[in-house]
Structure 1
Amino acid sequence: MTTQDPSSSTTSAVSAPSRALQGILCIEIGMLFFVVQDAMMKSLLLSYPIWMLLFIRSVVSIVVLVPLILFLGGPHKLRSPFTHIHFMRGALFATGFSLFYTAFPFMGLAEVTTIFFSAPLITALMAAFWLKETIGPHRIGALAVGFVGVVIAVNPTGDGFSLIALLPLACAVTYSASQILVRTIGEQESSLTVGLHTLGWSGVLILPMGWLVNQLVSATLDYPHLHLTYPEAGLSQWPLLVLLGATGMCGYIFLSRAYQVANASLVAPFDYTYLPLATALGYFVFSEVPGINTLIGMALIVSGGLYLGFRELRATRHTDDTPVVAETVFAPASPHPTQIPEDENLS
């Protein structure tokens, strides 16, 4: 009769990464990449149209991800059985973030991103409705506080209110839907595969979308960043354009990984790390000073999100953390992972 080496099982249990902590760490790194990306985007919109910048971001992602997937092998694949989901996510990304960046020339970085950060709240609600993740009274209270903050930040009754402020809110809805979709894939695909297909489809769709907008909306004549024309700057800043694409790709991969390995309602509140970083960057780089309503709204949004995250961490502290399936970084010599069951709903 064979006996199991207790030391090996202990080592395996210790080395198995915490799914909750892994998701939080991935989302924090992703937010750091996205802050840098958006600051670059705000600067480049002075010379380049939105459509071109988003297209370049997708092209760079494909150029990097295809050879990387071929080299790493393992769970990373070029083909996917979830093409319909990736297409929907690509369409949501192209639509949502074209709206998001449309607001950049008219609003400060802190104002745009504070409104957009209703997304984690919307994600938590969508997760409860579609994924059947439990949402109790504490979560409802935290979400209510956060949504009050969003209303204060948008300030629909204020003299300075503009419909432009609804663009980042619309992006928040599309963003939340895209994260719920990636959760339906779970860990059946690696983050690199998910990133390749979603960013690839968004790149395919963004230029036709820009053409359609220019055909239907004559107002784009007043806003150069919405034109679908080759800019006077050409590709003179191509190193910066490539860096923009690489930064967005890295942020996206870490973000997708977070939603693949942990409950959506757990990791979503940690998106809020972006807000203080974006506010500081807007102040030091663009000399933007957010209004009092933005700061109050931001404080409420962050408070609600942090409390929600605290409750989630308490709920998952005693759960069984199992090893992840599709490692984002998969070394050729590491063992092939095996399928594991879906996370249990959090209480």
Structure 2
Amino acid sequence: MTKGIIYMLIATFAFAWMNLMAKYLQDFHPIQVVFFRAFGTFVFIFPYMVVKKIPIIGKNVFWLSARGFLSFVSLALFFKVVQDIPLGSAVALRYTAPIFSVVLAFFFLKEKVKFWQWISLIIALGGAFIMKGVDFRIDTASFIFIMLSSLFVGGVFVIIRYLGSKEHYLTIINYFMVFSIVGSLLFVSKWRMPVGEEWLWISLIGTLGLVGQVFLTKSFQLAEASTVAPIKYMELVYALLFGFFLFNEMYGLWPIVGMLLVVFGMLLNIIIKRRH
């Protein structure tokens, strides 16, 4: 249990730094940043899969492909928003993804949703709209993009839940990498070559993404999801600190209230599910 919590703390720290690298790379097209993120992980995962004879294609090609496509689009939208609005706001708004996963699971997987779960989701969604309404740095296009990103992440959660033990977890991750790499290459005309210290940032974004993914997976393997999932919200704390100290991003009372409502709603949902 303790090791699972430590692993989740490491994962959130790695993902927080990955988001920071995406912010630093705001002079690059967000699709190119997605390529850096995916390729940096792919070069480690794919050879390991070949050596360990882990299935590359998998059995459920359609759903694996859907997972890969949705993850690619979601990450591209997220990186776009990270470049355009405060880092803490982007991370907080993307935490609405479980709202969509619960709704999609209700309709497509026929999972039962308790009354208080619906209330918790409404609270979190209300927090998101408060953030949009009171923080004028969050333009309408960015708000739409980040909510779409959350919707697609919610879809990814449901697909992974559907696949369950049908596929190796690295097979599922690898589809995300392959779709992101291939999809990014379609926009190669928008790219430019990194210079100077930018090479460090692009190297880190892929490496940190891999570290975060591995420790996140290990965390869920070692401890109950209801125990370690709330710790992932530490990522928002990191984002707020990075934004404040590195980008001079400050927040008034109501944007903070909105963020707290998002986090509270999602934590309440986890607590209610734990008591199932």
Same fold? TM cut 0.5: yes
> Paired residue for 2:192, among 230, 234, 254?
230
TM-score normalised by L of structure 2:
0.85
> Paired residue for 1:305, among 256, 263, 266?
266
Superposed displacement of residue 172, structure 1? 0.5
> Paired residue for 2:129, among 151, 160, 165?
151
Q: Does 1:40 align with 2:15?
A: no
Superposed displacement of residue 202, structure 1? 1.7
CA distance in 1, matches of 2:196, 2:173: 25
Superposed displacement of residue 90, structure 1? 1.9
CA distance in 2, matches of 1:92, 1:278: 24
Deviations 1:109-150 (A, max 9, x none): 011122221112222222232223221122122222111111
Contact 1:191 1:257 in 2 (8 A): no
Letter in 2 for 1:230: R
Superposition RMSD in Å: 3.2
CA distance 1:93–1:245, shift in 2 (3 Å): same
Fraction of identical pairs, as percent? 22
> Paired residue for 1:277, among 201, 221, 238?
238
CA distance 1:120–1:265, shift in 2 (3 Å): farther
Aligned length: 276
CA distance in 2, matches of 1:42, 1:81: 37
Letter in 1 for 2:21: M
Superposed displacement of residue 99, structure 1? 1.6
Letter in 2 for 1:229: W
Deviations 1:144-200 (A, max 9, x none): 211111111121896975332221111101111111111111122232222112211
> Paired residue for 1:65, among 30, 36, 45?
45
Please show how residues 83-122 of structure 1 align to structure 2 within 5 Å: 83-122=61-100
Query: Which deviates more from structure 2 when the two are superposed, residues 169-178 or residues 283-292?
Result: 283-292
Deviations 1:262-313 (A, max 9, x none): 9989976654332222111211222211233321111111112222222333
Letter in 2 for 1:105: Q
Superposed displacement of residue 201, structure 1? 1.6
CA distance in 2, matches of 1:235, 1:61: 22
> Paired residue for 2:35, among 34, 52, 55?
55
CA distance in 2, matches of 1:235, 1:58: 21
Deviations 1:193-242 (A, max 9, x none): 2211221122111232x36xxxxxxxxxxxxxxx70324x4476334322
CA distance 1:133–1:253, shift in 2 (3 Å): farther
CA distance in 2, matches of 1:174, 1:43: 24
CA distance in 2, matches of 1:89, 1:104: 22
Contact 2:16 2:235 in 1 (8 A): yes
CA distance 1:160–1:247, shift in 2 (3 Å): closer
CA distance 1:200–1:267, shift in 2 (3 Å): farther
Contact 1:182 1:260 in 2 (8 A): no
Partner of 1:223: none
Letter in 1 for 2:259: M
Higher gyration radius (CA): 1
CA distance 1:249–1:84, shift in 2 (3 Å): farther
CA distance in 2, matches of 1:180, 1:85: 10
CA distance in 1, matches of 2:112, 2:20: 36
Give the match's secondary structure for 2:190. Answer: coil
> Paired residue for 2:185, among 204, 207, 214?
207
Contact 1:108 1:290 in 2 (8 A): no
Superposed displacement of residue 77, structure 1? 2.9
Give the match's secondary structure for 1:187. Answer: helix
CA distance 1:39–1:160, shift in 2 (3 Å): closer
Q: Does 1:296 align with 2:257?
A: yes
TM-score normalised by L of structure 1:
0.69
CA distance in 2, matches of 1:108, 1:157: 10
Partner of 2:167: 189
CA distance 1:26–1:131, shift in 2 (3 Å): farther
CA distance 1:189–1:70, shift in 2 (3 Å): same
Q: Does 1:134 align with 2:112?
A: yes
Contact 2:135 2:255 in 1 (8 A): no
Letter in 2 for 1:228: K
Partner of 1:340: none
